[in-house]
Amino acid sequence: MSLKRLLFILLFLFAARLLYAAAPAITSFSPSSGPVGTLVTIRGANLNTPLTFTIGGSAAIVISNSGNKLVGMVMPGALSGKIIIITAAGTATGPGNFTIATTRYDFAQQGNKLTGTGNAGRAALGSSIALSADGNTAIVGGVNDSIAPNGRAGMGAVWVFTRHGGRWQQQGTKLVGSGTSGNIAGIGSAVAISADGNTALVGGDLDSTRGAVWVFVRQDSTWLQQGEKFRGSGANIDHQGASVALSADGNTALIAGNNDGANSLGNAWIFTRKDEKWAQLGEKLVGTEGAGKIGTGFSHVALSADGKTAAIGAPFDDKSHGAIWIFTLDSGVWKQQGKKLVGTGNIGAAVQGISVSLSADGNTLIEGGSGDNKNLGAAWIFTRSNGTWKQQGDKLVTGINKEQAYAGYSVALSADGNTAIVGGFGDDKMKGAVWVFARNGSVWTQQDKKLAVKGAVGPSGAGFPVALSADGTTAFLGGQADNKYNGAAWAFNTGVNALQTDMLKDDTIAYTAAPIKPAKGNDTTSTAVYTSSDPAVAVITDGLVHLTGVGTTAIAGDGLSKTLTVTPAPLTIIPDSAVKVAGMANPPFTLHYAGFINGDTPQGFTIQPLVTTTANTSSPKGAYPVTVSGGASRNYIFEFESSKLIVTGANNENTVVNALLIPQVRSAVSPNADGVNDVLIITNIEKYPDNRLTLLTNGGGKIFEVSGYDNVNKVFKGYSNITGKLQQPGTYFYLLQYSDGGISKTSSGYFVIKY
């Protein structure tokens, strides 16, 4: 066959494929508005392999694509406008416009601090932090978890937290990579997470002194390790995993090591994922013009959303003045872009590059220099235009702080590069803080006051690491020194002082006692008067929506109207254990409830739940299950727990009396001040005044201890009497020691805190 004929056949087949390929179609997308960095889910058909994908006129990043569902990130430069996908078979345009929302800066702490469960020893949780693009998934490292006998370092671990309805909770158990070398790995020394929150990259810079990284992926709500640990080649004692970064789609990883060679030069490596396997791309990245022990990657590295621009910090370059190196991917090869970046206006050895962050398009960079001006600290902004980097404005300083704040030890940027947060763990005698800066045009200004955490125990060093969601609405602060290096993390969110419902679209919210503020997009400045069509679902008081029950109501005002749907909240129902004599009728069972909202009571149920047991009048001695089932409520979805009915011998009166008087800790408490189940009840405890109750976290940390627990004055109301802080919802353990006629007895088990 001639070459011409072969080429003709190939061209014919290619043309036929284009002719018969199905054109793409977009049927819907959500959300319909949001800031740059928002993840938009687009549904339709034949969306595979887009040649062009734009949102609001700006090229968007594909995070995932199944053909029928494409998830993309809104990129810098986007304006309110159409979503367009072009494939080889045609063009699809989404129905309606995507609206770019106004950026907000009213950050406030969201909920209590997060401490994780399953911690082994003083984990230093909060050593590292990363956030998904929407801010709903956070991964937090604790390098000292399972600390070694020498007390200097630990195996380490990471914890994942997710946000639902404005509340944060741990997702699964802590994650520890397999295949470590020895009992010291420092897992959690650095973390990164993909935009959709489904891929996590975890560094362990102490693993066999060379360091390593692990990848975890989320399937539904379960996290699994993907493959074995890996590290870059061509290195010596390098502590790889000291800093890590991921592209938005999670398929490109940047890994830094801070001690590669005798001069602690440090380097970085690029890895890419294909078919769930990771492979190094090219040689290690080594910056030019380094002066002395540059410590490349000592504290932080960053990647653009498309994984094609890398920033590598070198804080010890040039006698600790520090610098940043930029690398870009050019025709499959990584090359240094320009000279190293050093900010002007520094005072002394600033250690610039101790932290670094990039905007989604890689054109805006922030670097921290925590040593500037005798450790007051500062940050510098650089922007790129046509491949050339220049400093933008003066260095950013944090107001009138006169302490060693170490501001700039951590930094983060939003996807559009217009919001920056700067962490300073040394502020206010090591309490730590974070400052928010915003860009208008090319001018940066500090927004409001510094962010300081609530609920810390001792000097927490909050702001040691920081993270900012791509959409700029959620910030996370780590404080590894909290509570004597047990560590903690705090979430901050815009508009957190009231839940928010966007008047530009219909909304669904779970039944809650929290007030809800109507807003037009992200603009909460409106003073319009709103109304609710159904007061049985919601009422308006002082401009806020207060939910009164489950159902649907129309919220109207400011020339807008939307449908607000309220769904049921969970309610746990627990039967008390009981005792009876064999041959006697079953006693009545008492029910207790955890999770009531707005003063609701069981009298509001449409159908009362049914309590049953397998025991009857002819049942012999033994323990029989007591279960709850059925029932119905407009406002709640029932969750049931069980207990036991103890049947004793008819002629053993003492056994009956003793069994009836056994102290029993109820399995749940809901200290939300609604007057129902607000304190932890121990039935029959009044019969044993000589008692001591100890309450522990899931990880074994003591939160409450008292002698003479009495259900009235000496009670647990959800607050620790050791730290004074309100405890998070979750599972806790109890140890009850009491004297029974001079005989010491012990009872232990678990209970649940719900709000």
412 touches 465 (CB < 8 A): no
| 68 in any annotated domain | yes
pLDDT of residue 513: 67
**Beta strands per DSSP E along 537-667:** 538-541, 544-547, 551-557, 560-567, 569-575, 578-581, 591-594, 610-613, 622-629, 636-640, 643-648, 664-665
pLDDT of residue 216: 96
Claim to verify: residue 42 and residue 145 sit in the same structural domain: no
Give the mean model confidence (pLDDT) for residues 323-336. 93
Tell me which range, 33-37, 308-312, 529-533, is most confidently predicted by mean pLDDT: 308-312
3-state secondary structure of 273: strand
Give the mean model confidence (pLDDT) for residues 64-84. 93
Give the mean model confidence (pLDDT) for residues 567-582. 80
The whole-angstrom separation of Cα 543 and Cα 500 is 12
**Beta strands per DSSP E along 604-684:** 610-613, 622-629, 636-640, 643-648, 664-665, 668-669, 682-683
251 touches 63 (CB < 8 A): no
Claim to verify: residue 60 and residue 133 sit in the same structural domain: no
| 671 in any annotated domain | no
Nearest CA-CA partner of 480 in 471, 490, 489:
489
Residue with tokens 């595979």: 48
**Is residue 714's pLDDT more than 80?**
yes
Nearest CA-CA partner of 465 in 452, 479, 485, 481:
479
- DSSP letter for 207, please: G
Decide which of 477, 494, 511 is a domain's last residue: 494
Q: Return the structure tokens found at 714.
A: 């000496």
CATH of the domain at 93: 2.60.40.10
Decide which of 546, 563, 580 is a domain's last residue: 563
Q: How confident is the model at residue 18 (pLDDT cuts 50, 70, 90)?
A: very low
pLDDT of residue 310: 96
Report the share of the chain in percent with pLDDT over 70.
Answer: 87
394 touches 401 (CB < 8 A): no
Claim to verify: residue 374 and residue 467 sit in the same structural domain: yes
Residue type, 565: T
Give the residue with greater pLDDT, 650 vs 74.
Answer: 74
The whole-angstrom separation of Cα 469 and Cα 447 is 17
**Is residue 19's pLDDT more than 90?**
no
Would you put residue 461 in left (φ > 0), alpha (ψ -120 to 50) or beta?
A: left
| 9 in any annotated domain | no
Q: How far is CA 30 from CA 26, 72, 96, 749, in A?
A: 12, 11, 11, 45
| 516 in any annotated domain | yes
pLDDT of residue 262: 44
**Is residue 261's pLDDT more than 60?**
no
Instruction: Please give the order of strands across the beta sheet that includes 691-696.
Output: 668-669, 743-753, 730-740, 691-696, 702-707
- Phi, psi of 467, rounded to the nearest 5 degrees: -145, 150
Task: Please state the domain count of the chain.
Answer: 5
Q: How far is CA 208 from CA 144, 205, 254, in A?
A: 16, 9, 20
**Is residue 659's pLDDT more than 80?**
no
Instruction: Please tell me the least confidently modeled range out of 122-131, 261-270, 718-727.
Output: 261-270
**Number of neighbouring beta carbons within 10 Å of residue 586:** 18
Claim to verify: residue 476 and residue 619 sit in the same structural domain: no
Claim to verify: residue 85 and residue 129 sit in the same structural domain: no
Which domain, by its residues, includes 384? 107-494
Residue with tokens 């702080």: 401
Claim to verify: residue 286 and residue 394 sit in the same structural domain: yes
**Is residue 700's pLDDT more than 50?**
yes
Give the mean model confidence (pLDDT) for residues 86-115. 88
Q: How confident is the model at residue 202 (pLDDT cuts 50, 70, 90)?
A: very high
Q: How confident is the model at residue 653 (pLDDT cuts 50, 70, 90)?
A: very low
705 touches 699 (CB < 8 A): no
CATH of the domain at 683: 2.60.40
619 touches 551 (CB < 8 A): no
- DSSP letter for 471, please: T
Residue type, 658: N
| 180 in any annotated domain | yes
**Is residue 272's pLDDT more than 50?**
yes
Q: How confident is the model at residue 60 (pLDDT cuts 50, 70, 90)?
A: very high
428 touches 479 (CB < 8 A): no
Claim to verify: residue 423 and residue 504 sit in the same structural domain: no
**Maximum CA pair distance of the chain?**
105
Give every CB contact of residue 652 below 8 A, 6+ residues apart in sequence: none
Task: Convert the pLDDT of each residue in 357-375 to its tens digit.
Answer: 999 999 999 999 999 988 8
pLDDT of residue 526: 60
Q: What b/e readout covers 391-412, taking b as 16+ CB neighbours within 10 angstroms?
A: bbeebbbbeebeebbbbbbbbb
Claim to verify: residue 694 and residue 606 sit in the same structural domain: no
3-state secondary structure of 653: helix
Task: Convert the pLDDT of each residue in 108-133 to its tens digit.
Answer: 888 899 999 999 888 999 999 999 99
Instruction: Please tell me the least confidently modeled range out of 383-397, 427-441, 478-492, 724-738.
Output: 724-738
**Is residue 660's pLDDT more than 60?**
no
| 483 in any annotated domain | yes
The whole-angstrom separation of Cα 82 and Cα 621 is 73
Task: Convert the pLDDT of each residue in 473-511 to its tens digit.
Answer: 899 999 999 998 999 999 998 755 445 666 777 888 878
Give the mean model confidence (pLDDT) for residues 427-442. 90
Give every CB contact of residue 219 below 8 A, 6+ residues apart in sequence: none
Claim to verify: residue 138 and residue 206 sit in the same structural domain: yes
Claim to verify: residue 478 and residue 535 sit in the same structural domain: no
CATH of the domain at 162: 2.130.10.130
pLDDT of residue 673: 66
| 6 in any annotated domain | no
Task: Convert the pLDDT of each residue in 379-423 to its tens digit.
Answer: 999 999 999 999 999 999 876 555 789 999 999 999 999 999 999
**Is residue 7's pLDDT more than 80?**
no
Decide which of 494, 516, 548 is a domain's last residue: 494
Sequential DSSP letters for 477-529: EEETTHHHHTBEEEEEEETTTSEEEETTS-EEEE--SS-EEEEBTTB------
401-406 contact pairs (CB < 8 A, 24+) = 401/376, 401/427, 402/376, 403/376, 403/427, 403/428, 403/429, 404/374, 404/375, 404/376, 405/375, 405/376, 405/377, 405/433, 406/370, 406/371, 406/375, 406/377
State the average pLDDT for the chain: 85
Claim to verify: residue 355 and residue 298 sit in the same structural domain: yes
**Is residue 258's pLDDT more than 80?**
no
The whole-angstrom separation of Cα 423 and Cα 437 is 11
Give every CB contact of residue 743 below 8 A, 6+ residues apart in sequence: none
| 157 in any annotated domain | yes
Claim to verify: residue 371 and residue 475 sit in the same structural domain: yes
Strands 569-575 and 544-547: unpaired
Strands 516-519 and 243-246: unpaired
Q: How confident is the model at residue 698 (pLDDT cuts 50, 70, 90)?
A: low
- DSSP letter for 98, please: B
Q: Return the structure tokens found at 31.
A: 């959300």
Residue type, 709: Y
